[in-house]
Amino acid sequence: MLFLLDIILIINIWIAYRYFSCLMAPPVLMGGGMLAASLMATSYYNEWEMDTMLGESVCLLGGGTFFFTICCILFSYVFCISRLNRSAKVELDFLKQARMETFYVFSIIVALVGVVLKLYYMVAQFGALGWAELIVAKRMDDWNGDDLLQIPFYVRQMGSYTSIVAYLTVWLLVIMSISEKKNRRILRILLIVHLMFTFVDGMLSGSKAPILGIIMLFAVSFFFVFYAKRGNFNLSRKFFVRGLVVLVVLASLFRGLSMVIGRNVSERSNWDLLAEYCGAEIKNFDLYLQQNSKRRNSAIWGENTFHSFYSEINPNFERENGEFQYVGDYILGNVYTQFRPFHEDFGIVGIFTMCFFIAFISMFFYSRSTCAFIEPTKINVYVFIYASIAMSIFMSFFSSRFTESICRMGWIRSSIYLVVLVWFVKHYLIKSYVIKK
């Protein structure tokens, strides 16, 4: 059955890429993530006893992903997607150099102070531990619900400011890397320093999500500018080979990243850890269906799908975490793809209904972000907003990241902050736009 799922997902990604041609299109992201997880599960076919996989699992995993692609294709006729019809020059002449450098000096100071203060409060609460031990202590405090670590509001806002400015930082770095003029050395250094502090601040959360989010932000920004400069979506085989090499290198560093953020990696290989993060969810979802053939009756409507939203409006709201799964000596974790919470709350119909909903939101922001294909150096808030949801679309193989991250007040606040940032940049840090042909 697992091989059938692989075939369905391969056909799905082929259709999605043939239609949209853009690697950052929503169905390509979701289809690519699900295919990667399925292929990883296939590589552990014997170890995870994948021969017991249910046909229902294949139908829901493959069918839900394929239905999402079909919905995105239909919504492409509803929303206007900009088409590439000419190449664009990518230059940095639109910047007000002195003001931008001053802005980043200030932003670096804020990021530095925020990181130092977070470390100060963590050491004050947990003691003078090492970097990894501090992060583990913070994660355990969050996991157990003790909330012993109380970081002041203004310190948390420093971290929020840093993460919001990172959208501008990555966008400018991408333009610099693709620009025909390799100058502005001081600004480049400031951007790199700010990005480094953004990584450090993200690692202090004890989660890979902030770091992976920055990587996805870079990918979205890069491909939008890269496609605009080329004037078409055609990518050479050499480009795909280089991209594959980069992915393999990043994957080989997964164990090291886990160690840095305080995860237990003893007696586990890099690929076992990676398989638990990307692949085990396929097996877990199948085990969930084997043990729960019928959906559960939720006490609150959508409590599993929208638990982040309920947690924000009701601090006393609690939801049981997924059960940890094991097959022999292999740890599979406790995440079950995005389809488990959909199935728990709304049944089989709910899986396809939620895929329709996610496709609508995704295509709305994607269509508006494609204006960057025409004017790549014109700052576009929709590119930033779409980048903020792109990782959630891709991580559908992991959990319901979309409804956990997007369907909550925190994401709305972040989007408002991005709108304010773009307004500020347009009015004070860049010059008037001129479309260069």
pLDDT digits (tens, 9 = 90+) for 107-133: 999 999 999 998 888 888 777 776 667
Token pair of 232 as six digits: 């078409």
Q: What is the pLDDT of residues 291-313, one digit of tens each?
A: 876 656 667 888 888 888 888 88
In 10 A of CB 179, how many CB atoms?
Answer: 18
Instruction: Please report, for residues 46, 290, 367, the alpha-carbon distance to residue 339 in angstroms, rounded to integers and kept in the order given.
Output: 24, 14, 25
Q: What is the pLDDT of residues 53-99, one digit of tens each?
A: 889 999 999 999 999 999 999 999 999 888 877 777 777 777 888 89
Sign of CA dihedral 145, 147, 152, 156: negative
Q: What is the pLDDT of residues 159-176, one digit of tens each?
A: 999 999 999 999 999 988
Query: How does DSSP assign 212-224, residue by residue?
Result: HHHHHHHHHHHHH
Token pair of 336 as six digits: 């079950």
Q: Is the pLDDT of residue 433 over 60?
A: no
Measure the CA–CA gap between 198 and 211, rounded to whole angstroms: 9
Helix (H) or strand (E) holding 250: helix 237-252
Q: Give percent above pLDDT 70 in the chain.
A: 90
**Could you tell me whether strands 330-333 and 325-327 are parallel, antiparallel, or unpaired per DSSP bridges?**
antiparallel
Band of residue 229 on the pLDDT scale cut at 50, 70, 90? confident
331 strand-pairing partners: 326
Q: What 3-state class would DSSP assign to 150? A: coil
Measure the CA–CA gap between 278 and 395, rounded to whole angstroms: 9
Could you tell me the residue ranges of all domains in the chain? 1-84+250-359, 88-232
Q: What is the DSSP letter of 95?
A: B
Instruction: Please report, for residues 31, 50, 59, 351, 426, the alpha-carbon distance to residue 5 in angstroms, rounded to integers and kept in the order given.
Output: 12, 12, 8, 17, 47
Once rounded to an integer, what is the mean pLDDT over residues 329-336? Answer: 84
Measure the CA–CA gap between 63 and 52, rounded to whole angstroms: 19
Token pair of 66 as six digits: 């394929």
Q: Which of 268 and 99 is assigned the larger pLDDT?
A: 99
The predicted model scores a pTM of 0.89
Residue 435, pLDDT score: 45
Q: What is the pLDDT of residues 200-210, one digit of tens each?
A: 888 887 667 77
CB proximity list for 311: less than 8 A, separation 6 or greater: 317, 319
CA-based radius of gyration for the chain: 22
- What type of residue is 25? A
